[in-house]
Chains A and B, each alone.
Chain A
């Protein structure tokens, strides 16, 4: 399998060089671009697995650029921004970016996010699904682009990144027993330090957060094997 190709769009030359080097050291093939036209050129040079996009490029704003890319292709996009505001993050994710990374970031964080996005994209392609944006169970709503969960009464219920990934894994395989090792693997995508025990902790926290009075908790434990997501899941 050849190295995944990443198009890196960043206007600061030094930061671009440093980021490119960090990516190459971790086994990615990098095509660099300083502006929007250069990015389109990079697309023409062969298939691309992921775009790392600075949100505040001169000329075109990263948000517009993201919209344009999304119109032409399904390639995963990770936003990089110095703004770091919640509204920016949500806007970027709603426009079809797959994840958001605030400056400054460490190599470890960058690689973890890229792996997570590539893995998610891979899983979705395997499932043959389109990019579904929402899932529902027991009256709860899960918005994947915004990484947001709403209770049956419509209140936002905060999940950590790892908890959301775990929930996404459950929603991908409802009513099927998922082995603990498999969950570790699925949720390791975040920061890479999940252990068996911390998966149990994560599951219990998630179970508590998406519990509702008068409802059976949707996540059940299968002794000695793993967990099962009991609720029926619909997607839209």
Chain B
């Protein structure tokens, strides 16, 4: 449903318009409420009597004398004026119908006189003002001099004034929040970029500005992805291509007569081969994961241990003979193999444990080497990082070993932890969820 997207400005104006409209409605309602104030019955009684007297006296006087007569009727309590025509009756402040009823209740005769009462502000509170019609169609205008006691006037007014304000505040906040929702989705998507989930296309929604932003973000993400993809492919191609000259070198070095040179060259070729293999594995793990199948992980771990013992290393396997799990076999094998090789590189012996703990599958690879300084554990898992370089030791490889393990474990949604054992040595642990 392609709606025409409003601009951010339009959206906010709409919100303002809506809140103003509601404010208007609420005010109207509250002024209606405000006409229901009442005054003390004694005040109403006194006012009613005074009005009846004023009506009687003024009606009896000729028209020419009425203004003066009205002035005479002015006391220290009431101001009274006479008007030949209908005085202006403002809509604000609103009529106090309840007060009118209070007054006419004391003097029923006043009901026919079009009496209207209002609350008017004065220096010391609210005074009652109003007007009434005489029988000949002229008017009496009056006002109390002293403030009347208005029941709960201040507190209620403050409260009712607060209600729409709070309501509008909440409404405005909710509307602006929903306007900014697509922006928050975008922020979340940006936070995920580069975490290995591939491209997450964010749906284009919201106001025109935000749509534009999301569109630009999607484009940027796609371009970055393509760029990385191209680089990865180029790097992988170089890796493949290097293997042909390496194969020539391998066959040529077999002709070298000098035993020591040949062995050294063989080591070099093997090292280069290992580097290419780990590079290709690392690049491949990024974008072309193998499918997961049921695999006997106990046999897999035991096979790797046996491979190490066949090479004359001290490796032990501890765990069941069979344990079937759904995983990506060659990635997992590579991960375990890298951890075992690391263990044997830094230590003299390795113990590989496979166990099922709760719903998790646990591989624990323990060595008797020096461990890793705690501050460097995180660093050790980053690609192309070799701690040995800092520690002045010479090691083969590209520093991708643990990065490949991380990758394989992430594919299985598992966790890799490295920790130093109390008795010395490193414990690498892979936990895969069931």
Enumerate chain A interface residues (CB-CB to B < 8 A).
Answer: 12, 14-15, 18-19, 22, 56, 82-87, 102-107, 151, 153-160, 205, 208-209, 211-213
Residues of A within 8 A of B248 (CB): 12, 14-15, 18
CA distance A208 to B317 in the complex (A): 13
Interface string of B271-283 (1 = CB under 8 A from A): 0010001001000
Contact across chains for B280 and A158 when beta carbons are under 8 A apart: no
Contact across chains for A158 and B307 when beta carbons are under 8 A apart: no
Interface string of B223-258 (1 = CB under 8 A from A): 000000000000000001101101111111010000
Q: Is B296 an interface residue (CB 8 A)?
A: yes
Interface string of B288-307 (1 = CB under 8 A from A): 00100111100110110011
Enumerate chain B interface residues (CB-CB to A < 8 A).
Answer: 240-241, 243-244, 246-252, 254, 269, 273, 277, 280, 284, 290, 293-296, 299-300, 302-303, 306-307, 321-322, 324-325, 329-330, 333
Contact across chains for B299 and A105 when beta carbons are under 8 A apart: no
| 20 A-B residue pairings within 8 Å (CB atoms) | A15-B244, A15-B247, A15-B251, A82-B247, A83-B240, A86-B290, A86-B329, A103-B243, A104-B243, A104-B249, A104-B250, A151-B324, A155-B293, A157-B296, A158-B295, A158-B300, A158-B329, A160-B303, A212-B322, A213-B322
Determine how close the nearest CB of chain B comes to the CB of A13; give it in whole angstroms: 10
7 shortest interchain CB distances as A-B pairs = A82-B243, A104-B247, A155-B294, A155-B324, A104-B250, A18-B251, A86-B330
Known: A56-B240, A84-B277, A104-B246. A156 touches B329 (CB 8 A): yes
Contact across chains for B324 and A153 when beta carbons are under 8 A apart: yes
- CB < 8 Å: which of A15, A153, A209 contacts B294? A153
CA distance A12 to B243 in the complex (A): 11
Determine how close the nearest CB of chain B comes to the CB of A172; give it in whole angstroms: 23
CA distance A212 to B85 in the complex (A): 114
Residues of B within 8 A of A155 (CB): 293-296, 324-325
CA distance A53 to B251 in the complex (A): 17
Residues of B within 8 A of A106 (CB): 250-251, 254
Residues of A within 8 A of B295 (CB): 155-158
Known: A107-B251, A155-B324, A160-B303. A82 touches B241 (CB 8 A): yes
Taking CB as reference atom, which chain B residue is nearest A101? B247
Known: A154-B294, A160-B303. A82 touches B324 (CB 8 A): no
Contact across chains for A22 and B321 when beta carbons are under 8 A apart: no
Determine how close the nearest CB of chain B comes to the CB of A92; give it in whole angstroms: 15
Residues of B within 8 A of A154 (CB): 294
- 11 additional A-B pairs beyond A15-B248, A82-B240, A157-B295, beta carbons within 8 Å, are A14-B248, A18-B251, A19-B251, A22-B251, A22-B254, A85-B284, A153-B324, A155-B295, A155-B296, A209-B299, A211-B322
Contact across chains for A211 and B294 when beta carbons are under 8 A apart: no
Determine how close the nearest CB of chain A comes to the CB of B210; give it in whole angstroms: 42
Determine how close the nearest CB of chain A comes to the CB of B337; give it in whole angstroms: 12
CA distance A102 to B240 in the complex (A): 11
CA distance A84 to B242 in the complex (A): 13
Contact across chains for A103 and B246 when beta carbons are under 8 A apart: yes
Determine how close the nearest CB of chain B comes to the CB of A169; give it in whole angstroms: 19
Determine how close the nearest CB of chain B comes to the CB of A221; give it in whole angstroms: 18
Residues of B within 8 A of A107 (CB): 251, 254
- CB < 8 Å: which of A82, A160, A209 contacts B307? A160
Which of A14, A104, A153 has the largest number of chain B CB atoms within 10 A? Answer: A104
Residues of B within 8 A of A158 (CB): 295-296, 299-300, 303, 329, 333
Determine how close the nearest CB of chain B comes to the CB of A85; give it in whole angstroms: 7
Determine how close the nearest CB of chain A comes to the CB of B268; give it in whole angstroms: 12
Residues of A within 8 A of B269 (CB): 104
Known: A19-B251, A82-B240, A104-B247. A156 touches B294 (CB 8 A): yes
CA distance A171 to B329 in the complex (A): 25
Contact across chains for A205 and B277 when beta carbons are under 8 A apart: no
Which of B252, B293, B299 has the largest number of chain A CB atoms within 10 A? Answer: B299
Contact across chains for B294 and A105 when beta carbons are under 8 A apart: no
CA distance A86 to B284 in the complex (A): 11
Contact across chains for B252 and A18 when beta carbons are under 8 A apart: yes
Which of B251, B294, B302, B330 has the largest number of chain A CB atoms within 10 A? Answer: B251
Residues of B within 8 A of A209 (CB): 296, 299, 302
Contact across chains for A157 and B244 when beta carbons are under 8 A apart: no
Residues of A within 8 A of B251 (CB): 15, 18-19, 22, 104, 106-107
CA distance A87 to B325 in the complex (A): 20
CA distance A82 to B240 in the complex (A): 5
Contact across chains for B249 and A151 when beta carbons are under 8 A apart: no
Taking CB as reference atom, which chain B residue is nearest A163? B303
Determine how close the nearest CB of chain A comes to the CB of B396; give it in whole angstroms: 16
Residues of B within 8 A of A84 (CB): 243, 277, 280
Known: A15-B244, A104-B246. A87 touches B290 (CB 8 A): yes
Residues of A within 8 A of B277 (CB): 84
Determine how close the nearest CB of chain B comes to the CB of A98; give it in whole angstroms: 20
Contact across chains for B293 and A156 when beta carbons are under 8 A apart: yes
Residues of B within 8 A of A22 (CB): 251, 254
